[in-house]
Amino acid sequence: MKKTNTYQSIKISKDSYEKVDDTLVVEAPLQININNEAYTVVMRTPGDDEELTRGLLYAEGICKKKEDLQVEIISENEDFSTVINVRISRDKLGKGYLNKRTLLSVSSCGICGKKELNDLKVEGKSLSRTENNTIESIVDVGNSMFFKMSKLQNLFKSTGGSHACAIFNSSSELLTIKEDIGRHNAVDKCVGDLILQDKLKEAQFMLVSGRVSYEIVSKAFLAKTPIIIAVSACSSLAVDFAKEFGICLIGFSRNNKMTVYANPQLIN
């Protein structure tokens, strides 16, 4: 099962600009049905889907014994999305099944709570450029914003165990910064703060302290924030959705370098 994919990207620094082929980890949805009824969708790297399913159902208190369930693949698609069905006799279903999983994801995947692959949609027109940033200046802009963000990551300084999100306007002025143990929670807190401040329309740059998955891109899109800059990597699905949504997606922003994966025209 393919676990990586190659994407064209642009690696930039203060004095260089190079198009390269970059290897990204695949992020794709796995829909789990129980007795032919949709139970949940989890995002995962393809492979070991039966093991993932058995481990998840064990943790959720649905089925503890190997012999009490059978796993069958219903469909496997070219985009690595997969549907599997788990057969468990009714008398063997644990109490966890009664919760009908609005799953709190344990994989930091972001799709938590979705029940079917068709639920993975975000409606709206793709974003368009609202401000000009030159390809040469974006490294300095990113550095400046990350410096402001890091100075205010008090929870991380104390614990080393939290993520942060910060949102800036088109003049690189900080609008909000929030920390949380979860990457997606930090993003939600920032968006919620700007809603309370009536400043969401000013959002131009979303900076995140970790990697970027599908869900962070979708949250930025819904908040109409056109540029995401991350310290770490981006998943394959994050890049796919960023391209579709018209979001400039930038990863590995560190040491005066960064990699642009989608819509570089927003900064050029």
Q: At 65, which helix (H) or strand (E)?
A: none
Q: Is 109 a catalytic residue?
A: yes
Indicate the SS3 state at residue 198. Answer: coil
Say if CB 7 and CB 236 are below 8 A apart: yes
CA Rg value for the chain? 20
Say if CB 232 and CB 254 are below 8 A apart: no
Q: Which residues of 41-63 are buried (b: 16+ CB within 10 A; e: fewer)?
A: bbbbbbeebeebbbebbbebebb
Say if CB 52 and CB 84 are below 8 A apart: no
From the list 109, 165, 234, 248, the catalytic residue is 109
Active site residues: 109
